[in-house]
Amino acid sequence: MKTYRDPAFESLDLSPIVELPIVSQRLIPSHHPGQSNYIWEITTKNERLVVRSPRHRTPPDEDFSQGALRLFEATGKDLNRADAIHRDLHEHGAIPVPHVKAVKQYLGRPFLVVQWMPGTSLCSFNLLSDDQLQRLGKHTARLHQHRQSHFGRFGSIHQIRLGQPLDQFFVRLWSTIGFLLSRFYSSDPNAHRWVARIQTSVASTPALLATAPIMLDMDPSQFLVHNGTITALVDTEFYVWGPPELELTGLELLLDGSTAHAFRRGYEAIAALPPLESVRSIFRLVLRLLSFQGSVDWNTWMTLPAHWP
């Protein structure tokens, strides 16, 4: 994925957004290719803030954005969902999230203003101590205990439309796999080989019984740390209602053996870790088609060690 840049937009004076004189304004560099937001750190006379705005006016024609849109109807552009996401993460999670100050329109673009949180972006979950990995496991388990009977983009429980029925999830998942394969991997024989292999080996998929808040673009850079302690979860726009097993499949690929064990201890202090065996290959397949961690070699990705049952 490419990181889109608009130099004129990056140099905007954001005073009208925060409605206070700005003492300093700093555009934070992208942490990874394809980052969906511009992020500024703002200092006013009274406080420090973070301002976000999507880099794209419409979902970019790339595998992750188009896959997230088709499977979960999720985009990074709908900042009005941020307050609902942050309230749920604050209520049900175990890691702080910034308070949403405002969502505003300026020059035809949406801007999200949130509380500044201390720390720097985490480079790897494998750098965390056992204590912090267990804390991450507890946080994840607590969110996974917050269940709903639909899947799709995140929103308030008070919304009239509550996503898609659970019995349509795997129908939509396989449809999304087919779309991604033909649209972005048409000339990749390894992608076609793995899709055919998974379709042949999986006679049926288990029914989806419930969903929970999951981060579709799970990555250590979404978390801030200070002196080895996780201080905040700050990048939340791709939280969706989805199967906990999908998020756990992604996390399993981001952890090594010892850190996966510590995470599991924390998770199981709250709830039993759901089994991944029956869905691991399907979810690894769709995550790779979404470029979850970039263009990793297909055989390497699909055969990485499984740390959990």
**Domains (ranges, CATH) in the chain?**
7-60+75-115 (3.30.200.20), 120-302 (3.90.1200.10)
Angle at 197 between CA 196 and CA 201, to 5 degrees: 120
Q: Is the CB of residue 171 less than 8 Å from the CB of residue 100?
A: no
Confidence of residue 212 (pLDDT cuts 50, 70, 90): very high
Pairing of strands 239-242, 164-165: unpaired
DSSP β-bridge partners for residue 102: 113
Backbone angles phi, psi at 79, to 5 degrees: -75, -15
pLDDT confidence of residue 34? 57
Confidence of residue 269 (pLDDT cuts 50, 70, 90): very high
> Is a pLDDT exceeding 80 seen at residue 247?
yes
pLDDT confidence of residue 262? 98
Could you tell me the pTM of the whole model? Answer: 0.91
DSSP class of 233: E
Q: Is the CB of residue 136 less than 8 Å from the CB of residue 220?
A: no
Position of tokens 């939280």? 239
Mean of pLDDT over the chain: 90
Which amino acid belongs to residue 7?
A: P
Q: Which two tokens stand for residue 230?
A: 């996780």
> Is a pLDDT exceeding 80 seen at residue 7?
no
pLDDT confidence of residue 156? 47
CA distance 111 to 80: 10
Query: Does the CA dihedral 138-155-147-274 come out positive or negative?
Result: negative
Q: Is the CB of residue 234 less than 8 Å from the CB of residue 117?
A: yes
Q: Which two tokens stand for residue 301?
A: 């990705």
